[in-house]
Amino acid sequence: MTTETSKIPNELLVRWTDTGVLSGAHVKYLEILKVDGVAVMARVGDAIPISAAGDFPFQKFLPDIQAGAIASAERAWAEAEAAKEQARKDVDEAMMKKGEAENELALAVRVIAKLQDELKAAKAPKKPEATD
């Protein structure tokens, strides 16, 4: 009876910071135990840093990881641009509403002044009318 153990890459874990900087990469291996050439046990091992996984073929995946990072950055940029454009529209709309409100206030102030003048005139003592 012969036993043989082997491991093959199973999972690559890559993390970036919230600013898009690569912050770490780990790999998990599938560890396989074979008895007389038949796999009798397989388990996924713990995540280990890429730097400690000397035989991991990281170069094969680097272009995909870089492409993913670029795509992520481009999506974030597009979302930021859309948010800025919406903010500009919101500011423009708010400024227009502010102008409308200022015009309505100015009109209300003129109406109030006119009504106050009319009220003052109505309360003023009447001069007797001259009779001939």
Segment 4-25, tens digit of pLDDT = 988 888 888 888 888 877 778 8
Whether 132 shows a pLDDT value over 70: the answer reads: no
The model's pTM: 0.42
Alpha helices in the chain (DSSP H): 58-123
Residues in the chain: 132
Cα–Cα distance measured from residue 57 to residue 74, given in angstroms and rounded to the nearest whole number = 27
pLDDT of residue 77: 85
Q: Which two tokens stand for residue 29?
A: 């291996």
Is 38 strand, coil or helix? strand
Model confidence pLDDT, tens digit, residues 11-70: 888 888 888 777 788 889 899 989 888 889 999 999 888 777 777 776 776 777 777 776
pLDDT of residue 87: 96
Q: Which amino acid is at 96?
A: M
Of 34-43, 82-91, 110-119, least confident by mean pLDDT is: 34-43
Cα–Cα distance measured from residue 82 to residue 75, given in angstroms and rounded to the nearest whole number = 10
The model's confidence at residue 71, banded by pLDDT at 50, 70 and 90, is confident
